[in-house]
Structures are given as C-alpha cells and as structure tokens.
Structure 1
Amino acid sequence: MVTLQSGLHAEYIESALSSGSAAAQSALIASWRRSMRLYGLNPVEGKGPNVLTEQELNQARERLGSLIMTAQTSLDRLYAAVGGAGCCILLADKNSIPVDRRGCVADDEAFYRMGLWTGAVWSEECEGTNGIGTAIAEQRALTIHRDQHFRSRNTALSCTVAPIFDHRGRLAAVIDVSSARHDLTDDFVKLISIAVADAARRVEAENFRLAFPKARIVLAPPGDNWMSERALNALIAVDEDDLVIGASRSARQLLGLTDDALNAPLPAADLLGQHQSAARDFAMAERGAIQRALARSGGNVSAAAADMGISRATLHRKLKRLGLS
C-alpha cells in the first residue's frame, strides 16, 4: 500500500532528479539516479531486503574468511560505544551482505523487520540508496540519513558506514552503524561517523599485519597530509632484505603505488625517501649488526666476535673503522 508519506518521498526524489541545480549533481542525487534509472527501482515498492538462506549466508562468511574473526574486537568496542543508544552494528561483505551483527535484544525484533540482520542483501542494485550498498558502490565512508534513503520504507533509518580494504587495497567489507531513533541528533551522527571510521581502520590495519606475519610493518611518510585519514593508515610491509612486499590502500594512494610496482623488487629506503649509496647501505648494515652483537654480549668484545663468527682482532678493526671503539 502506498502511503501519502511514501508518495511524497517519491515525488521529492523525482523532483531532485529533474532539477538542473548544483545540488542535483551531488553524490546523493547520483545514487538516487542510479537507483531509479540504472537499476529501475521504485521508491515506494519493496517489502524489505531479500534474505539469503542459511547455506548461502555461511558461504558468504566463508568467502570473507578470517576477516570476520579479525573484526571481532573492533566490533565489540564499537558496540560498547554506541549500542546503548539504540544502534545496531553490522559487518557486511563486498556484496552488501551482513555476515556479523551486534545489537540490543530489546531492539532485535524492530531491526529484524527492517532488514538490519545477517543475510539480508543491502546492495544498491536491490535496495537503492542506502548506507551499506552506497558505501560499497562508491568505496567511501558515508552516512545515509533518513529521507536520503531511496526506498520510502527505509526513511526512518540513519546508517553510517566505513569501508575496509584488504592487504592488496581492494574493498573487502564495510562496517555499518544503523539507528531508527527519531531523536538522533546531527552531532551524535558525527560522533558515530568518527567511531565507525576508527573501527574500520583498526580492522584494516590488523588484517594487513596478519597478511604479512614475517614482515616489518612501517608507516608511510605522510608528507603535508600527516593528519589525514589516508596518512594514518598508510602501511607498508617490508621483508628481511628491506624490500617492500605489500602496501595498504592508503599507502598505495599516498605514494602512487600499483600492483606492478609492488611485484618488482622495491627497496624500502628508496620508497621512504631514505635512498643512499650501496656502500653506505652496507656500512650501516655492518654497524647495526656489530652494535646488536655487542648489546647481546653486554659489551664483551670477545663474546660479540664469537657471536658474529669473526675473530676478536677483526672485530676490533671494524670497531675502529666504524668509529665505535
């Protein structure tokens, strides 16, 4: 049944799509345009998101793999921060399917009716403009607040979403915080946005570290944008030969790295702006090895020489040459 409110929302969307104003070129209007004209959706139609079978949901979870476990602590922390305010937390895969959820038992029935549940399909293609689907379509953090939703039946929701990119820089999942509270203020939505972005960064960083368990993880030089979100999550994996073997999406964007660049041997010092001659590199490596050996031996030169497999006299000569004696 089409209500007056539903009809007004549909008219509002149609009017915005027909407008020639600057506002009609916004990202929100672009999403509405995709919803109506690319996907052929109607704002007043739809009985709720399609829901996967239990088997299909399990397959979606298997495809996401270990990321679900990696996200547990961050999801718990996020729910502890906003769950008491009538919000539910969803972890959705890149196909817009929630595979994990946090929510208050008292609110479960209402959220279930709205489709904010595991196994529901929230793609933009199926549901039009919505937090999960539009964040995935545009691969960015965003909030779809109430009547910004395409479907009339979703206009009671406020959904704030942040993407999670895998260790190769590809979209893997999103974290969504949704609420149906009528008294949700703009200031609180902004706080939720910060909390969701922080949770996504934590999951992304931990997933990156787990992807390169034997590597040294360093933060890329941020340049002038050291306080930007991109700089804060610009991670680089460096192997024992000081060669770059991986870079997060933020690092790739910050440093202009591509898959081809990372597939070729790439000295970390060159990438991090610390390039020096091979002779200088060798001297610094030798100096570091000697200092570590001396530290392990408590300053005992004989023990340090034995640890390095050289004679005491040879070590003394190196100490003198390197200015360490």
Structure 2
Amino acid sequence: REPVVVRQQDHFFGAYTSLTCSAVPIFDPDKPCRPDVLADRLLEKRRERAADLIECAKLEMTTLFQQFSDRESAVVLVDTDGVILHMVAAPEFAGAMREVGFCTGAVWSESAVGTNGMGTCLVAREPVVVRQQDHFFGAYTSLTCSAVPIFDPDGELVAALDVTSRSQLMQQHSLVLLGMTAQMIENRLLDRRFRDACPIHFHSRPEFVYTLHEGKLVVAEDGSIRGANRSALFQLGFPSVDDIRGKQIDQVFQTTLPDILQRSARSSFHPIPTFCAGRSNRFFVVAQQPATLSLKSTERGGKSVSASHVGGEAARQFGDPRILSQMGVAARVIAKRIPVLLHGETGAGKEVFARALHESSPYASGALVAVNCASLPESLIE
C-alpha cells in the first residue's frame, strides 16, 4: 500500500508537520538507513539539466546560510526526485553529515528514506517542518528540517529548498526566510527565461513595488503576457499562470504596454497609478525595457563604466550637474564591487538614484532586488 501522508496544522509557524504512516514492511525505523548517492557522472547530468535553477539559487542559498549564522546547519536544494543538487554548509558540519548520507548527490525522496523535510515537501508541495522525532528513521532524529517548494514560471514544481539543523531549538523565523528565498529564486527563474520580454512590476501599494511583495508580469513586445509570479496571480485573482498567459496587457490593466513604458520613463521609474481592467481596483505599476536590451547596451559600451557614460544615461532623468557628478563617483565604486550607501531625507530621490545607478552599471542585465525593511518581521531584524 502507498504511504499515507498525515498533516497536522502547526499554527505557530503557519506550516505543516508531516508524519508518514507506512504499511510497507521493508521500512523498519529502527534499522540503519543510508540514502543512495548518485555516481558523479549521473549527478553531473542532473546538474546540467538544472543549470538555470542552480545558477538562480546559489547566491540566494549562500545569503540564507549567512542569515542563519548556524554552523550546525545546511541549506540544501533538491530536485523533484529528492536528489541534492547543491548544498551550503560549514565544512565541519558537511563532513559529519556525509557519514549519514547527507551530501550532494544523495537521494532524499520520501519513498527512499521516509519522512524528511526535503522529500515530504516534494510530496506535499507546500511548506513542511519535520522536527527531530518526526523523522521516520531513528538515524535522523537529531535533525530538524524546514523546507519549501520552488515552482518554475509554468507553475510546475521543480525543486525544494531545505534548511537542516542539529540545533536543539528550531529558529522561529526559518520558514519566513525560506519562503522569501524561494520567492527570490522563482523571480530569478522568471527573469532568466523571459529576458527578451518587458518586466512589469506592480502592487496595490506603491511602497511594495520593487520588493518581494510585488507582482511581476513579463510582457512580449506585442503586449501579450508571457509569464507571472505567484504574487501577480494572487493580486489579480488568477488561479494559475495558464489562466493569464496569452492575455493582452490591456485585458488586465486599463492601459497598454507602450503607455506604461512611456509613463514609467517619464516618472523616473517611480510607480504610476492604473486600474484593473473592468474593475475599480487601483494598482501602481512600473514597466522596463527587456534585459536583453540592457545587456546589448552594456556590451557595446564595454565592461567598464565611466562617469561620462553614466552621465549620459542619467541625464535624461537628472538635470543637476551635482547629481550627475555623484553618480559618476558611485558608478566607479560599484564597478569595483564595493557597496554604496545612499542617505537622505524621505522624498530626496534615493530610490530613483539607486535604480538609475543600477541601470548604468555592469550589472544592469540582472534584476535589482529591493528589500523593504519595514515589512520584515521583528524577529528577522534582531
């Protein structure tokens, strides 16, 4: 008989603790269990097929690991078969976990090793917490796992992102951070697939545009919608991406793509108001040119960024020579991969300056990720 997954609502974390009740006699929880580990050749083939996913996830996983600051933990990405494709962990912890088969190439599907964060998340297709004694096999009861699913631009499950820790106390914000990281990865996958389309950022509240809360549509030159992130589907009331794909932008908003592009440029890419088609719901939107255009501009201008180049690009947005001079200095600093801190009163134009600086930098082909600190839970700020 197939294993039965029983879920108990965890109201504190807003996730699920999963317990697997299995009538399969070959699963004895008291016997040692070590996951199979793929040969290097087979693992490399899987990693090649998932190259875009891994590329979009690597930086976010490293950042997540640093946020946890837990040397007794690992951040893990598994494919839909439960195979670990990429892992970020302290060397000591990684070495110790390798002894129980927790390593790159290991198969952690629920059918292979029973209830565990990664495998059970793939079955449930939703956030899962598997605490120590909830693991099916006794060998893993020292671990606590939190995992969230990752979906591709078609809405298909492509991976699970997991944090596994030996710490006695599970961090209360682990699922919040995991969820945010999964959103970032999904948005990167959307941007990567539709680099030749115009991204449209929107939200019902202007301060949430350019944050993780924003909805994002990718729109072809003819105005047809090619993709959307989960926030966009939720805000616009579409059950799935298939329900919105192919629609014209003026079937969703009371405007056209050329109009949004023109108004966005005139507003220096500050959110502009529009209304939902056929309804009175107001949204604030920003449209940008395709990333491929920015990439071509960067290639034509070379890899280095000069003050004169930045000045020419920014002159259409800023007329003040002092601002252009400051932007030239900031551009040279960013080209050396040095962080830049902008400070000023509310309304001074810090966000506009930052966006213009990004668009003129060597990294313009990538997305500018803005984090609204005011929307972070207090536990994360600490």
Give the TM-score, by structure 2 length: 0.58
Equivalent residue runs for 1:30-45 within 5 Å: 31-33=19-21, 36-37=22-23, 41-45=27-31
The alpha-carbon deviation at position 161 of structure 1 amounts to: 1.1
Judge conservation of contact 2:72–2:90 (CA < 8 Å) in 1: yes
Aligned to 1:77: 63
Aligned to 1:62: 48
Partner secondary structure for residue 196 of structure 1: helix
Say if 1:263 and 1:108 are closer, same or farther in 2 by CA, change over 3 A.
closer
Say if 1:43 and 1:81 are closer, same or farther in 2 by CA, change over 3 A.
same
Q: Distance in 1 between matches of 2:144 and 2:257?
A: 57
**Structure 1 residue 185 and structure 2 residue 169: aligned?**
yes
Equivalent residue runs for 1:134-153 within 5 Å: 134-153=120-139
Say if 1:258 and 1:50 are closer, same or farther in 2 by CA, change over 3 A.
same
Equivalent residue runs for 1:209-220 within 5 Å: 209-219=191-201
Judge conservation of contact 1:170–1:249 (CA < 8 Å) in 2: no
Aligned to 1:267: 248
Read off the aligned partner of 1:244 and give its amino acid letter: I
Equivalent residue runs for 1:85-100 within 5 Å: 85-100=71-86
Bigger Rg over Cα: 1
TM-align CA RMSD: 3.8
Q: Distance in 2 between matches of 1:262 and 1:122?
A: 35
CA deviation vs aligned residue, 1:35-60 (integer Å, no higher than 9, x gap):
x1369633223421111111111122
**Aligned match for 2:110, one of 124, 134, 143:** 124
Read off the aligned partner of 2:238 and give its amino acid letter: G
Aligned to 2:352: none
CA deviation vs aligned residue, 1:194-219 (integer Å, no higher than 9, x gap):
22222111111111111111222234
Judge conservation of contact 2:56–2:185 (CA < 8 Å) in 1: yes
Partner secondary structure for residue 23 of structure 2: helix
The alpha-carbon deviation at position 282 of structure 1 amounts to: 11
Judge conservation of contact 1:83–1:103 (CA < 8 Å) in 2: no
The alpha-carbon deviation at position 97 of structure 1 amounts to: 0.7
Q: Distance in 1 between matches of 2:25 and 2:234?
A: 31
**Structure 1 residue 244 and structure 2 residue 244: aligned?**
no
Number of positions where the alignment pairs a residue of Structure 1 with one of Structure 2: 258
Aligned to 2:327: none
Q: Distance in 1 between matches of 2:44 and 2:244?
A: 34
Partner secondary structure for residue 275 of structure 1: coil
The alpha-carbon deviation at position 283 of structure 1 amounts to: 11
Read off the aligned partner of 1:179 and give its amino acid letter: S
Read off the aligned partner of 1:248 and give its amino acid letter: N
Read off the aligned partner of 2:250 and give its amino acid letter: A
Greater percentage in helix: 1
Tell me which moved more, 235-244 or 214-223.
214-223
Q: Distance in 1 between matches of 2:259 and 2:98?
A: 61
Q: Distance in 1 between matches of 2:177 and 2:54?
A: 19
Q: Distance in 2 between matches of 1:75 and 1:216?
A: 27
Aligned to 2:187: 205
The alpha-carbon deviation at position 180 of structure 1 amounts to: 1.5
Say if 1:283 and 1:190 are closer, same or farther in 2 by CA, change over 3 A.
closer
* Structure 2 unmatched runs, 5+: 1-5, 268-314, 319-382
Say if 1:86 and 1:270 are closer, same or farther in 2 by CA, change over 3 A.
same
Aligned to 2:216: 235
Aligned to 1:108: 94
The alpha-carbon deviation at position 151 of structure 1 amounts to: 1.2
Give the TM-score, by structure 1 length: 0.67
Q: Distance in 1 between matches of 2:181 and 2:27?
A: 32
Say if 1:170 and 1:250 are closer, same or farther in 2 by CA, change over 3 A.
farther
Partner secondary structure for residue 172 of structure 2: helix
